[in-house]
Structure 1
Amino acid sequence: MDSCSFSFTFGIWWLLAVTNHMIQSIEGRSPESPLQCNQTLCTLHNSYGKWGDRKDCYALNATYPTTEEELLAAVSFAVKNNLKAKVVTRFSHTIPKLACPADRAAQSSFFISTERYNRQIQIDAANSVVTVVAGVGLRQLIDAVEAAGFSLVASPYWEGVTIGGLISTGAHGSSWWGKGGAVHDHVVGLSIVVPASQSEGYAKILRMEAYDPLFKAAKLSLGVLGAISKVNLRIEPSFKRSITYNFTSDVGLEDLYGEHAKKYEFADITWYPSQHTAVYRYDSRVPLNTSGNAVFDFIGFQATSTLVSEAVRATETMFEKSKNMRGKCVTAEGTIAFKKATANGLKNNGIIFTGYPVIGHQNKMQTSGSCLTSSSILSSCAWDPRIKGLFFYESTAIFPASIFRNFILDVKKLRDQNPEYFCGVDNYNEQMMH
């Protein structure tokens, strides 16, 4: 276990009420592009509408390549003209300003967007490898692979990311099995466009495989080494998953997490310290012929009524201003009860939750984000900056598995001194252990 680690996410996300569950038939509007340009300036913000310092990124120009050749030309242009360039995606979910080219004036900055570089997915069935260009969305890739009789084993729970973005930022699901839950650990090849000399045209394409010295660095480059062009991912024959959530006491959590991770391939644990509750996800593969056609439509990623999102934010603001800790605890209790009743968005028949276990194909059970594809103005992703909806910050800590027990015990000691102090976090996406 010393070679393993636990990713522990402190999420301040959203509170959903039964009211929202009753209006899920209302479609929501899709998020707008984070990159907006006019005749004089291009502005980039993240999908939440704000960076940590509340300032957007600016550049005089942006380009939208559609092919690898056009991406190469874009990097060449930036290098030749001594511009600070960054590749941006159609989603921009980073909370820190990693996508900003520089802190200097817009005149020296240049955006390269992969929003239109998204039309190439090649499946090599004989070698169980899929090659995909950087701008392809995760949902687009997952469905294409599944249609060919394969599954992508690892992916984050949120599907609103591109392949280039999720690889370079280390996005992951949850697993200690095999190569693990990080998508970049399933990458077997990579193409990246990097600066070059004038004689080489100011930019060139590097094709890398696992034996290349820069391979690991290029996978997790955060856009520093160059622009990821293509990614080769290992895929496996299609499979199904069986998921059961066990809402139970957090007694012994510090001793159970390791065995839980070893027993279930896609295990995770959600912890609500103020409520003394741990939610163990029993999540494993089952044979493809196992009955079940379920969908995981995570509650927080569903289209949410604008009125509900704004009411939740107004309620939280009121609690903050009045320092009403008890109010936060009451809503935390309601949040957990609602998630338990709805199995956190699992739907046995694709419509409603009817009982455990919930069994479905991998492409419908790992990743979700239905608010991305909605169209009505009555609802949206709960954090859509066009409404006065939820506004949150998320942070992650990584621990070696061997010392994670001590961290849990420390948190419990703090909790036991004053449980109400943890109700604010438990209102939202609590503390998730990957």
Structure 2
Amino acid sequence: MKILKSTLIIFLIVFVNGVLSSPPDDPVQCTSGNKDCTVTNSYGVFPDRSTCRASQVMYPTTEQELTSMVASASKSNTKVKAATRYSHSIPKLACPGGQDGIIISTNKLNRVVKVDAESRRMTVESGVLLREVISEAAKNGLTLPYTPYWWGITMGGLLATGAHGSSLWKKGSAIHEYVVSMRIVTPAAAEEGYAKVRSLTESDEELDAAKVSLGVLGVVSQVTLQLEPMFKRALTYVEKDDSDLAEELVNFGKEHEFGDVGWFPSQKKALYRVDDRVSNKHSGNGLYDFIPFRPTLTATLAATRGTEELQEKTRDANGKCIGAKLVTGTLKTAAYGLTNNGTHSKIYRYFFTGYPVVGPNNRMQSSGTCLDSLEDGKITICPWDSRLGLQFFHQTAFTISLSNIPGFIKDVQKLVELEPQALCGLELNNGILMRYVKASSAYLGKTEDAVDFDITYFRSKDPLSPRLFEDIYEEIEQMGLFKYGGLPHWGKNRNLAFIEVIKKYPNAQKFLSVKNKYDPQGIFSSEWTDQVLGLKESVTTLKDGCALEGLCICSEDRHCAPSKKYYCRPGKVYKEARVCAFDNEANLKDEL
């Protein structure tokens, strides 16, 4: 307990005073120049913990070079995958099929091509970070209205996975809804030079395939976005109990343009982000520098991880609940990173004088200052940086249609009534973040107006080690995905989220038709993407302990951890669920 308190004190001091950071490594690492490579994601591990290898990595600097690289791979029928600067996708989207495959990195395709202030359009190369899009647009008095909250993702990467912010207004919060044209390099026939650049506009139906593509159509070269004139927002956080959350959640998204809700089920609290567009005449130069996206002391991360590992080992649910209240209280005291007239700098200056915080959209919509600082020898890092292996977690994210929201919320609340301390662990990781997403014309986009549920929770360094309240987390996961028909976020989730997922998309066959047209040899496909798209058998793997990592849904005790008293059991509320539950009676019998 003393360790936890001291850790949180350090946490607060660091984020008030500010420090330098060490930006993450490139996810592609090679032993000999650009050859004999491995590729991973920013978290350092894929869901199945496998090592992904590639024969080489290539770094095109122009569309012409990119086309030549794709042509060479097409001619030799070599597997290819695109990789991005920070690779934030959890599933194996960047892993080519086999160690002879090639990685094409978009790191050097990172230029802003054109900003047309009159038409309010911006054209960028696919490796440009969201941070640069926001910044460059602002210089021209423009803004991309809705974005994800983390700015360290590339345009090509975020489009491939359907990344989004939070809004049910206008076209909604997914960035692909604001794409008006795209250039994508795909394989081609020999008479076309084995590769071609396809230029798609809003009049081309195939743009609805390319906007959310999982990277299986080719490599995006350029993207043109429709922007808006810069505007201001006013943001206020309001904390309430969650007794009416099932009814209030749907209405809230319709009432507030940029609203989202953080949910802390074990504390029975909900944090409403009242966030709306206001006139530019409103005074204020507010800034949202979200605290978990700032540089963090490695010593703090190590102490926090050590504390949670001990709590898991000793089944100390009460300790997690105390820690969760300390974390949420600290974030509240620090206004979650909001300042009324703050500035980005090496030494942070904080001036939070109260709500509402009013500021231009570019200063309120997205952040990630742990990427902006100079090297400091890993004294501080982005919290999830895998180089020191300190933060390690599972992430489950799915969208549930608005009509199904009340039932899902009430079911989770029933689980909390049965196990009041079960979800304190996810409250250590900012609770359940609920964002709003609109239905999309993209073939692999959202099929209905929905709420996205983001859930981050403890993952053991040992793949055969179960978690405290393993069954509750698994039941919520299966409940959201299967009982309520949730669509998984393409860039997050454990493997089980993608079981027969393609059947949930009415336009799946249209997408597969474009895929077959653009890449008939499947050089941009892998075993994993073929499984997800229903072209091969299931993404799940049945083996001992597979349910602990989300590699399967248990059907036998061996899929859990029977040696540690975790057995495959029905869910407590969703009886069709099959979860790994700790069995006290079995434990007692064995001891007797």
TM-score, normalised to structure 1, is: 0.94
The separation in 1 between residues aligned to 2:398 and 2:389, in whole angstroms, is: 29
Amino acid at match of 1:317: E
SS, match of residue 93 in structure 1: coil
Q: How does 1:336-375 map to 2 (within 5 A)?
A: 336-350=328-342, 351-352=349-350, 353-375=352-374
Amino acid at match of 1:74: M
Q: Displacement, 1:147? A: 0.3
Cα RMSD, aligned residues only = 1.3
- Aligned pair in 2 of structure 1 residues 49, 16: CA closer, same or farther (>3 Å)? farther
Identify which of 6, 20, 31 aligns with 2:11. Answer: 20
Instruction: Please name the residue that 2:406 is paired with.
Output: 405
Instruction: Please name the residue that 1:308 is paired with.
Output: 300
Identify which of 104, 110, 114 aligns with 1:122. Answer: 114
Q: How does 1:375-414 map to 2 (within 5 A)?
A: 375=374, 376-377=376-377, 378-414=379-415
Identify which of 237, 252, 275 aligns with 1:245. Answer: 237
Amino acid at match of 2:423: F
Identify which of 78, 81, 89 aligns with 2:76. Answer: 81
Q: How many residues align?
A: 417
- Aligned pair in 2 of structure 1 residues 395, 228: CA closer, same or farther (>3 Å)? same
SS, match of residue 250 in structure 2: helix
Is residue 331 from structure 1 mapped to residue 323 from structure 2 by the alignment?
yes
Is residue 95 from structure 1 mapped to residue 90 from structure 2 by the alignment?
yes
Greater Cα offset, 80-89 or 388-397: 388-397
Say if 1:152 and 1:235, in contact at 8 Å, map to a contact too. yes
The separation in 1 between residues aligned to 2:434 and 2:119, in whole angstroms, is: 33
Instruction: Please name the residue that 1:34 is paired with.
Output: 27
Instruction: Please name the residue that 1:5 is paired with.
Output: none
Identify which of 62, 66, 71 aligns with 1:67. Answer: 62
Identify which of 132, 138, 145 aligns with 2:124. Answer: 132
The separation in 1 between residues aligned to 2:391 and 2:311, in whole angstroms, is: 14
Larger Rg: 2
Instruction: Please name the residue that 1:255 is paired with.
Output: 247
Q: Displacement, 1:394? A: 1.2
Q: Displacement, 1:429? A: 2.4
Q: Displacement, 1:38? A: 2.4
Q: Displacement, 1:289? A: 2.7
Is residue 231 from structure 1 mapped to residue 231 from structure 2 by the alignment?
no
The separation in 2 between residues aligned to 1:223 and 1:284, in whole angstroms, is: 34
SS, match of residue 47 in structure 2: coil
Deviation string 1:7-61 (CA, Å, 9 cap, x unpaired) is xxxxxxxx98231221232211111111112215111111111111222321111
The separation in 1 between residues aligned to 2:297 and 2:205, in whole angstroms, is: 49
SS, match of residue 21 in structure 2: coil
Amino acid at match of 1:23: V
The separation in 2 between residues aligned to 1:121 and 1:270, in whole angstroms, is: 37
Greater Cα offset, 81-90 or 340-349: 340-349
Is residue 278 from structure 1 mapped to residue 275 from structure 2 by the alignment?
no
Deviation string 1:325-358 (CA, Å, 9 cap, x unpaired) is 0011000111111121112111122132221111
- Aligned pair in 2 of structure 1 residues 250, 16: CA closer, same or farther (>3 Å)? farther
Q: How does 1:155-166 map to 2 (within 5 A)?
A: 155-166=147-158
TM-score, normalised to structure 2, is: 0.69
Instruction: Please name the residue that 1:12 is paired with.
Output: none
- Aligned pair in 2 of structure 1 residues 16, 194: CA closer, same or farther (>3 Å)? farther
Say if 1:374 and 1:380, in contact at 8 Å, map to a contact too. no
Instruction: Please name the residue that 2:552 is paired with.
Output: none
Instruction: Please name the residue that 2:102 is paired with.
Output: 110
Amino acid at match of 1:212: D
Deviation string 1:277-329 (CA, Å, 9 cap, x unpaired) is 00000001112232111111111101000100111111110011111100110
Is residue 48 from structure 1 mapped to residue 43 from structure 2 by the alignment?
yes
The separation in 2 between residues aligned to 1:56 and 1:130, in whole angstroms, is: 38
- Aligned pair in 2 of structure 1 residues 60, 213: CA closer, same or farther (>3 Å)? same
The separation in 2 between residues aligned to 1:412 and 1:245, in whole angstroms, is: 23
Is residue 194 from structure 1 mapped to residue 189 from structure 2 by the alignment?
no
The separation in 2 between residues aligned to 1:416 and 1:363, in whole angstroms, is: 41
Q: Displacement, 1:263? A: 1.2
Structure 1 stretches of 4+ moved >3 Å = none
By relative contact order (CA 8 Å, sep 6+), the higher-ranking structure is: 1
Instruction: Please name the residue that 1:3 is paired with.
Output: none
SS, match of residue 244 in structure 1: strand
Instruction: Please name the residue that 1:173 is paired with.
Output: 165
